[in-house]
């Protein structure tokens, strides 16, 4: 009869502990707001480290929670004041909304907005031109690529020369050359709202509509003259006649309210 081999208790305990750790330790994902080595080489810079809102201006209504930027009360947009958005750039960010939520990413002066929205509930989701990832009230995305409410989406904005691109969850959904005559209607629509697609030099702004919204992994790089961008054309989604009529009425109301506000301001100066 063979005698069992005796293993010192300390060695046995350490070996057991090591195996247990290997078996139960989950794979660690990259922390929020981490810049990948590929993005670092490409020149991307984070706009938040996930610890505080240094470089951002707000009225106490935004906060960092577990590395994520989120609202905590009404008070206006969250504005990145540390630097202005370059004239030509690529912006990447993650976003998610609660049921019915509405927000937006403003990246150039006057009405340059990447719409953030719950398409399934909010009334703006009924019109592709005001739906998630649209260039709000200018160009609609090719299709709805949003994740279900409460799940993270990945947004991307690319601007070079007269080209504007919106991406959503890995797919380019808008490719607009605003100097192309075929988009004259879209450009004029934005002009009626006070938008100027030739404008440059804004501070990045996250819109506060009073709704729950979350942002993370916001990073930006300046595009150089030698950087190539995807020039594949994208066809905007079709819009039904009924939706177009509702859009016309809404735009008329927006224009009237803006003109009335301007008139009141002029009267105060007198």
Tens digit of pLDDT for each residue in 237-266? 999 999 999 999 999 998 899 889 889 988
Q: Rounded to whole angstroms, how far apart are CA atoms 76 and 57?
A: 10
Is residue 222 within 8 Å of residue 89, measured between CB atoms? yes
210, pLDDT greater than 70? yes
28, pLDDT greater than 90? no
Q: Rounded to whole angstroms, how far apart are CA atoms 224 and 191?
A: 28
Residues 43-73 pLDDT 10s: 999 999 899 999 999 999 999 999 999 998 8
Q: Is 155 left (phi over 0), alpha (psi -120 to 50) or beta?
A: beta
Give the closest residue to 228 by CA, choosing from 139, 174, 158, 168: 158
Within a 10 A sphere around the Cβ of 111, how many other Cβ atoms? Answer: 19
Q: Rounded to whole angstroms, how far apart are CA atoms 105 and 1?
A: 77
Residue 197's Cβ-side half-sphere holds a number of Cα atoms within 13 Å equal to: 26
Buried b (16+ CB within 10 A) or exposed e, 260-269: eeeeeeeeee
Q: What's the mean per-residue pLDDT of the chain?
A: 90
| Structure confidence at residue 30 as a pLDDT band (50, 70, 90) | low
Q: Which CATH number fits domain 44-255: 2.60.120.560, 3.10.20.340, 1.10.287.110, 1.10.540.10?
A: 2.60.120.560
Strand, coil or helix: 187: helix
- 185 versus 20: which is more confidently predicted? 185
pLDDT at 31: 65
Please state the φ and ψ torsions of residue 209, each to the nearest 5 degrees. -105, 10
Would you list the DSSP string of 183-245? GHHHHHHHHHTT--TT---PPPEE---SS-EEEEEEEEEEPPTT--------PPPP--HHHHH
pLDDT at 62: 97
pLDDT at 74: 83
Q: Where are the domains of the chain?
A: 44-255
Within a 10 A sphere around the Cβ of 173, how many other Cβ atoms? Answer: 25
Q: Rounded to whole angstroms, how far apart are CA atoms 22 and 64?
A: 32
């Amino acid at each position: 009869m063979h005698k069992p081999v005796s293993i010192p208790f300390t060695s046995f305990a350490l070996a057991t502990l090591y195996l247990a750790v290997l078996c139960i330790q989950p794979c660690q994902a990259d922390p929020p707001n981490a810049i990948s080595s590929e993005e670092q080489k490409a020149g991307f810079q984070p706009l938040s480290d996930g610890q505080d809102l240094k470089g951002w201006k707000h009225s106490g209504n935004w906060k960092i929670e577990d590395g994520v930027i989120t609202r905590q009360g009404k008070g206006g947009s969250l504005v990145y004041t540390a630097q202005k958005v370059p004239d030509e750039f690529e912006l990447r960010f993650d976003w998610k909304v609660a049921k019915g939520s509405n927000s937006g990413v403003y990246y150039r002066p006057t009405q340059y907005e990447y719409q953030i929205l719950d398409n399934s509930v909010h009334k703006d989701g009924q019109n592709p031109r005001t739906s998630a990832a649209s260039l709000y009230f200018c160009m609609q995305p090719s299709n709805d690529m949003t994740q279900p409410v409460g799940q993270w989406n990945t947004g991307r904005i690319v601007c070079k020369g007269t080209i504007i691109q919106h991406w959503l969850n890995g797919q380019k959904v808008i490719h607009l050359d605003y100097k192309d005559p075929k988009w004259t209607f879209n450009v004029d629509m934005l002009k009626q709202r006070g938008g100027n697609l030739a404008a440059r030099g804004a501070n990045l702004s996250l819109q506060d509509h009073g709704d729950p919204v979350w942002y993370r992994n916001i990073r930006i790089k300046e595009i150089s003259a030698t950087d190539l961008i995807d020039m594949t054309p994208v066809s905007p989604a079709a819009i039904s006649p009924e939706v177009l009529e509702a859009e016309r009425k809404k735009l008329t109301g927006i224009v009237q309210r803006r003109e009335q506000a301007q008139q009141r301001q002029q009267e105060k100066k007198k």
